[in-house]
Amino acid sequence: MAVIVWGTHVFNSNKGFHGDKVKCPNCDRVYAPSYVKSAYWFHLEFIPLIPYKSTYFKACPICGYGVELKGKEGKAEVKELPEVTDQQFEPYVNHILANKPKGLLKTDNSFEFHVKDLTSGEDICVKQNMTKDNKYRVIVTNKSCLT
C-alpha cells in the first residue's frame, strides 16, 4: 500500500526594512517598516513543487502591527523603496523571577518579551506576564508593556 502525502506549505522570508521611518499607530515608535514575504507552495511528499500565491506583510519591527499586501503590490513597494540599513534589533525573553524558590507559584508568568534597538541602545518591553509550557516555548499573553 502506497501513501502519497500532499498539501501546502508557507515559506516566510524577511525582506528587510524599507522606506522612510514612520510612527506606528499601535506603539507610537518611529521606525522604518519591516517587510516579510510569505510564499505559498503546493508540495508532494514534502517536496515543494508549485508556488501558487505570495503575499507581503508590512509591519512595525517592534510590536508587529501591520498590514498585508498582495503579491504584486508588495513586490512593487519593496522594489521602489530604498532599504534602511541603520536599524538593528535583537529580540530576547527576560525571566524576572529566575531565582525564585521552587513551588512558590504554580504558574510562572514572570517572563517578558523585549526588543533591543542595537543602533540607539534602547531596550523596549513588548509583552509582559508571559508563561512557558513544558517544551520551554514562551506563550504570549495579551498584556502589553507598550504604552
Q: Which helix (H) or strand (E) holds 49?
A: strand 47-59
Alpha helices in the chain (DSSP H): 71-80
Whether the predicted model's global pTM rises above the 0.85 cut? no
Mean pLDDT of 3-17: 87
Residue 81 CA: distances (Å) to CA of 23, 61, 72, 77: 17, 17, 14, 6
pLDDT at 33: 92
Distance CA 105, CA 103 (A): 6
- The DSSP output letter for 140 is P
Taking the CA atoms of residue 9, residue 14, residue 19 and residue 22 in that order, the dihedral angle to the nearest 10 degrees is: 90
Amino acid at position 44, single letter: L
Find the distance separating the first CA and the last CA of the chain, reported in whole Å.
59
Residues 102/107/108/111 CA torsion (nearest 10 deg): 170
pLDDT band at 106 (very low <50, low <70, confident <90, very high): low
Residue 23's pLDDT is what?
92
List the grid coordinates of 46.
Answer: 514534502
Has residue 29 got a pLDDT over 60? yes
Provide mean pLDDT across the span 126-145. 65
Average pLDDT of the chain is 81
Q: What is the pLDDT, as a whole number, of residue 46?
A: 80
